């Protein structure tokens, strides 16, 4: 029972970190920059939000499979994400990209423009403005976004199952372990894992509530 929990936590943490690193510069551009084709880029980034996870998993399988262009590239290094826990990480990254992107955009946009303008007049470059001005002034929303993405990755099932499969002790996570436990008639195991998932979700949502509540009270104070 412990292995799926450990796998889920590892996958969720890695997926959240990767998605954050990818989306931070794109979210910054989405808020503070104007460029041609912006609507197309944002539509592609938000696409996993409106697609069934199985569709996302299918496209990942086609890209990273034995005959996919990314799969062939990884094969040069004798590596594959198919039926591997890294496949679950990639699937989770794609699924949570829209959450990270929209959350980061909201967080970055919440910083008063006057603060940013003052930093710019003091000769701060864009990187200094982002890391020394913007991020420190929106950290509650930033943490809330990361926690929400982590929670979503923790419950990812469809795309992860299609790419990583279910191999007990190797690619089993909480979500797919619950499914196969039900299929095998092991209701007790399924119930225990689901309760653990619910507990994670409740704790994370409570933290998010406290963070956002504190932010709202701070804004009202000023």
The Cα–Cα gap between 53 and 157 comes to 8
Contact criterion met (CB below 8 Å) for 49 and 123: no
Burial class (CB in 10 A: 0-12, 13-18, 19+), 150: buried
Share of the chain above pLDDT 90, in %: 61
Q: What is the largest CA-CA distance in the chain?
A: 66
Q: Kindly state the DSSP code that residue 155 receives in the 8-state scheme.
A: T
Contact 48, 98 (CB under 8 A): yes
Average pLDDT of every residue of the chain: 89
The pTM (predicted TM-score) of the whole model is 0.89
Which band of pLDDT confidence, cut at 50, 70 and 90, is reported for residue 216? low
CATH class, range 2-221: mainly alpha
CB 155 within 8 A of CB 4: no
C-beta separation of 54 from 156 below 8 A: no
The reported pLDDT for the residue numbered 211 is 82
**Over 70: is that where the pLDDT of 220 sits?**
no
Q: Does residue 195 have a pLDDT over 60?
A: yes
Q: Each residue of 171-180: pLDDT tens digit?
A: 999 999 999 9
pLDDT at 222: 47
What is the Cα–Cα distance from 29 to 98, expressed in whole angstroms?
A: 15
* Domain residue ranges in the chain: 2-221
> Would you call 126 helix, strand, or coil by DSSP?
helix
The two structure tokens encoding residue 199: 């507990």
pLDDT band for 104, please (50, 70, 90 cuts): very high
pLDDT surpassing 50 at residue 121? yes
Burial class (CB in 10 A: 0-12, 13-18, 19+), 164: buried
Please write the tens of the pLDDT for every residue from 52-101.
999 999 999 999 988 888 989 998 888 889 999 999 999 999 999 999 99
Three-state DSSP state, 68: coil
Q: Which residue has the tokens 């993405």?
A: 149
- pLDDT tens digits for range 21-60: 999 999 998 888 888 888 898 999 999 999 999 999 999 9
Radius of gyration of the chain (CA): 20
Stated length of the chain: 222
């Amino acid at each position: 029972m412990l292995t799926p929990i450990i796998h889920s936590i590892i996958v969720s943490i890695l997926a959240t970190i990767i998605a954050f690193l990818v989306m931070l510069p794109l979210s910054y551009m989405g808020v503070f920059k104007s460029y041609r084709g912006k609507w197309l880029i944002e539509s592609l980034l938000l696409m996993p939000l409106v697609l069934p996870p199985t569709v996302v998993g299918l496209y990942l399988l086609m890209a990273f499979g034995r005959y996919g262009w990314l799969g062939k590239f990884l094969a040069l290094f004798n590596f594959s994400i198919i039926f591997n826990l890294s496949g679950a990480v990639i699937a989770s990254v794609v699924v949570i990209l829209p959450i990270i992107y929209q959350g980061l955009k909201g967080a970055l946009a919440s910083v008063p423009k006057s603060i940013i303008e003052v930093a710019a007049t003091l000769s701060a470059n864009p990187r200094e403005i982002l890391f020394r001005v913007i991020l420190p002034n929106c950290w509650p929303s930033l943490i809330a976004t990361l926690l929400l993405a982590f929670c979503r990755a923790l419950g990812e099932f469809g795309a992860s199952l299609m790419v990583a499969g279910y191999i007990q002790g190797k690619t089993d996570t909480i979500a797919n372990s619950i499914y196969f436990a039900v299929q095998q008639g092991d209701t007790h195991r399924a119930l225990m894992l689901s309760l653990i998932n619910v507990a994670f979700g409740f704790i994370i949502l409570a933290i998010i509530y406290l963070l956002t509540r504190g932010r709202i009270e701070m804004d009202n104070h000023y």
